[in-house]
Amino acid sequence: MRGNCLLILFVLSGILQGQAFDPADFALESELLEEELRIRENRAQKKLDPAPFREPAVAPAPGVPVATPAVPGPASILKEPVRTEESPATRTSVPQSTPAPPASVPEKKVTAAIAAQKPSPPPAKAPAKQLTKTRQEKAERSLSEQKALEAFQSAYLSACFGPDFKPDVLPARRNLSAPHYVVSNENRLDLFFPYIENLGGSYIGVGTDQNFILAGRARSQTIYLLDFDPLVVELNQIHALFLAESPDFAGFRRLWTDPQSEKLVSARLSLAHAGSLRRWRTAILGRFRDVDTSARKFGWQSFHNLPADFDHLRRLAQERKIIALPGDLRGHQSLRAIARRMKEEKQTIGILYLSNAEDYFRSYATGMIQSVGELPTTESSVVLRTTSTVRFLNKPAGEKFPRIPFHYNVQSLSSFQAWLKKPARLAIMLKKAKPVKQGLSLLTAGP
């Protein structure tokens, strides 16, 4: 009886808060994402694989019957190669391809000539010791790549934040609905545009490509890309490199397409970065197509089709003002280090973009509360977020996964800092948000 009462109280509390944290939603999202990646990789592989080679048809000589080759059974295919010699029955009707040697040729030479025509035996399998050595060499190469990556990241972060900087210790288990989020699945970022147009200031965001859409429109002065997935950090560093090397978006996209770009990435970043590019370029190119489709359908522009936005991002990349670093929003090091650097350079925060990270929070961690509280703000500083778990908020048209769409929310950063002093669940905070249009709300009130 007591257990039933506790269950009822738990359900009622979820209803009152308006937020139902349903793991089935995240399982569905993971399944949809993985299926889409498989489809895209299969399409890319079909484009890369050449058509199977076929022997050209040759017309038989007049008066010569065509022999039908015997079809070997499964056992003969597995055990020995198919022989090119003709069967005895065929030899009576089709002339031998090699004429019989004259009687004056010694028997040993005839035997050698026949042996030379036989197909060579299949190559012998490598001994077990040799296979073990090959695996060991691959493991050593992977280990060397990892060491080179660590050396690169150490030098990169020291150049940005000083030699004493130590980023957050990243969690071994991220507990996300997919192993990696190498691209965004938020298709209606244009809903944020009226609140960030030419906003300026510094930009802090999690995730990958969506940050360039937002920071380009805001004309952000410095872009800090923070993520607790090391793969996302690598891909963001590749994004920055390609932006610096490209005259326009078409050239930027070509770098993601061209396999030769791996040489550039390996030389300028690391061999591990080149491997990440090779593995994930298909997903990133697919995301560019999604952005094109959404922009055409809903009539918005960004760095992919607005040269001014691209030129701004390119200049920031060339000036090394796009900084990708490992970090956890809930941690005590990385976000705080960004706040310190901003104060040293007399910068203020324009945008803090959280994506839907808060959907995975049961509560706001102490590290996040303290770090966000230290960010230098102005009256125009804003927080941008998406959420798919707060059920009472409506969703826009055009989302990538209509069964689990996002709601888009803009909040003043001063309001968010006030809420963090008395932390509550996201749904309770968003009850004070005012609807602006379908799928968008604005929050300026405190707790």
pLDDT tens, residue by residue, 119-150? 555 555 555 555 555 555 455 558 888 899 99
The answer, yes or no, to whether residue 351 has pLDDT greater than 50, is yes
Cα 37 from Cα 121, distance rounded (Å): 41
Distance, CA of 303 to CA of 311 (rounded, Å): 8
pLDDT at 166: 93
| 350, amino acid identity | G
The class of domain 164-233+307-443 in CATH terms is alpha beta
User: Which residues does residue 178 pair with via DSSP β-bridges, in sequence order?
Assistant: none
CB-based burial of residue 48 (10 Å sphere; 0-12 exposed, 13-18 middle, 19+ buried)? exposed
DSSP letters, 49-64, are SPPPP-PPP-PPPTTP
User: How far, in Å, CA of 38 to CA of 221, rounded?
Assistant: 37
Query: Which one is predicted more confidently, 285 or 177?
Result: 285
Q: Which of 425, 330, 395 is nearest to 20 (CA)?
A: 425
Between residues 380 and 175, the one the model is more confident about = 380
E-only strand ranges, 82-148: none
Residues 342 and 340: their CA atoms lie apart, in Å, by 5
Q: pLDDT, tens digit, for every residue of 86-103?
A: 444 444 344 444 444 444
Q: What is the model's pLDDT at position 102?
A: 44
Strand order in the sheet with 407-412: 322-326, 222-227, 202-205, 349-355, 382-387, 407-412, 440-443, 434-437
Distance CA 72, CA 409 (A): 67
Q: Give the pLDDT score at 179.
A: 72
How far apart CA 79 and CA 70 sit, in angstroms, is 16
Question: pLDDT-based confidence at 181, cuts 50/70/90?
Answer: confident
According to the model, what pLDDT value does residue 87 have?
A: 42
What is the pLDDT, as a whole number, of residue 70? 44
Which residues have C-beta within 8 Å of that of residue 362, sequence separation ≥ 6? Answer: none
Helix (H) or strand (E) holding 42: helix 23-48
Residue 198 Ramachandran class (φ > 0 left, ψ -120 to 50 alpha, else beta): left
The pairing of beta strand 407-412 with beta strand 382-387: antiparallel
Sign of the torsion formed by the C-alpha atoms of 22, 25, 31 and 37: negative
Portion of the chain with pLDDT greater than 90, in percent: 62
Tell me the C-alpha distance between 310 and 319, whole Å.
14
pLDDT in tens, 257-274: 999 999 999 999 999 999
Better-predicted residue by pLDDT, 57 or 254:
254
pLDDT reported for residue 23:
42
DSSP 401: S
Is residue 85's pLDDT more than 70?
no
At 158, list the tokens.
Answer: 């020291």
Query: What is the DSSP-derived secondary structure letter of residue 187?
Result: -
Residue 159 CB neighbour total at 10 angstroms: 12
Whether 181 contacts 229, CB under 8 Å: yes
d(CA 309, CA 311): 6
Residues 6+ apart with CB under 8 A from 280: 182, 231, 235
Contact by Cβ (8 Å): 277, 222? no
In DSSP terms, which residues pair with 437 in a beta bridge?
A: 440
- The long-range contacts involving 59-65, CB below 8 angstroms and separated by at least 24 positions, are 64/94, 64/95, 65/93, 65/94
Alpha-carbon dihedral angle through residues 415, 413, 290, 278, given to the nearest 10 degrees: -130
Taking the CA of residue 157 as centre, how many other CA atoms within 13 Å lie in the half-sphere pointing to its CB?
24
The reported pLDDT for the residue numbered 56 is 43
Given a cut of 80, whether residue 375 has pLDDT beyond it is: yes
Range with the poorest average pLDDT among 109-113, 241-245, 336-340, 414-418:
109-113
Q: Is 28's pLDDT higher than 60?
A: no
Whether 216 shows a pLDDT value over 90: the answer reads yes
Label residue 398 left, alpha or beta by phi (over 0 means left) and psi (-120 to 50 means alpha). Answer: left
Characterize 342-363 residue by residue with b for buried, 16 or more Cβ atoms within 10 angstroms of its Cβ, and e for exposed: beeeebbbbbbbbbbbbbeeee
Q: Residue 358's beta-bridge partner residues?
A: none
Q: For residue 264, what pLDDT is reported?
A: 97
Rg of the chain, C-alpha, whole Å? 31
Mean of pLDDT over the chain: 80
Structure-block tokens of residue 375: 């960010």
Q: Are 340 and 349 in contact (CB under 8 A)?
A: no
Is 350:218 a contact under the CB 8 Å cutoff? yes
Kindly indicate the confidence band of residue 177, based on its pLDDT and cuts at 50, 70 and 90.
low
pLDDT of residue 207: 96
